[in-house]
Amino acid sequence: ANRKKCIIQMDETFISALLRKYTKTLETISYISLSDIHRLINQEAMMLNQALLSNRRALAKLFLNQTEKNLQKLFFYRMRWEDKLQNWKRIKGTEIIGRFQNSGEAAVFWWCNGTLKAEPNNLFGVLFCSTTTPPGCSRNKVSDWYARLTAVNEQIDHMHFETLSKLQKYYEGTWQDCMTKMENFKEELINYEFSKEQIQDTVDAEMLPLLGNCQKQVEKQLEALEVGSTDCYFVVFFKHIYCY
């Protein structure tokens, strides 16, 4: 702005000095009267002023067009940057959700599938071996067999209670770990400049349903383990009645 003002002042000073110079020259020559000289100089000054005003308007219009073009370019780059930023956030959000799914499901179901499938087989194996009696058994042998069967039942009961206790403690710790990881992932989303609404939508749509499904499957498997153990006792009781 200061540079533009200085240029205008220089133009005005230069034109004024030039007009005064030629006015004095014409007055010295005295070819025409002073009034005609002043009238001629005034006409030239008006024409110069009109030319200067036209140039200023053209420059102002050029500056306005250039500014508008620059603003459009900045707007385009801004929109493109916003689009790329949203894509980058979407990729990071998907990556975080994937890591949360892998950590949650792997921690719960890897151990769950291995343990819950192995324990009933062990119980049925012990039960099958312990309930086998030789043919033609006497009453004393049956009493001895019944005592051993009672011990096996107590052992199974202890194994069942111990297994369920371990599973419950394990799942409680696992849920706490999952909740901690969910909070860590929320902090990570905050660091990636996700809004609170976006973070809450991600938690409600992706993380909480995953934890809910995992919890339902765990409850079903625990229930299946408990039912399987009850079936074991049922078989033991049936064989006990049969041998008597």
Q: What is the mean pLDDT of each run of 10 residues along the chain (244 residues)?
A: 70 78 80 80 84 87 94 95 90 84 61 50 49 59 78 80 81 81 85 85 83 80 68 45 42
DSSP state of 73: H
What is the Cβ-side half-sphere exposure of residue 17, based on CA atoms within 13 angstroms?
A: 6
- CA end-to-end distance (rounded Å), the chain: 113
Length reported for the chain: 244
Domain ranges of the chain: 2-75, 89-243
Q: What angle do CA 158, 164, 169 make, to 5 degrees?
A: 125
Global pTM reads 0.51
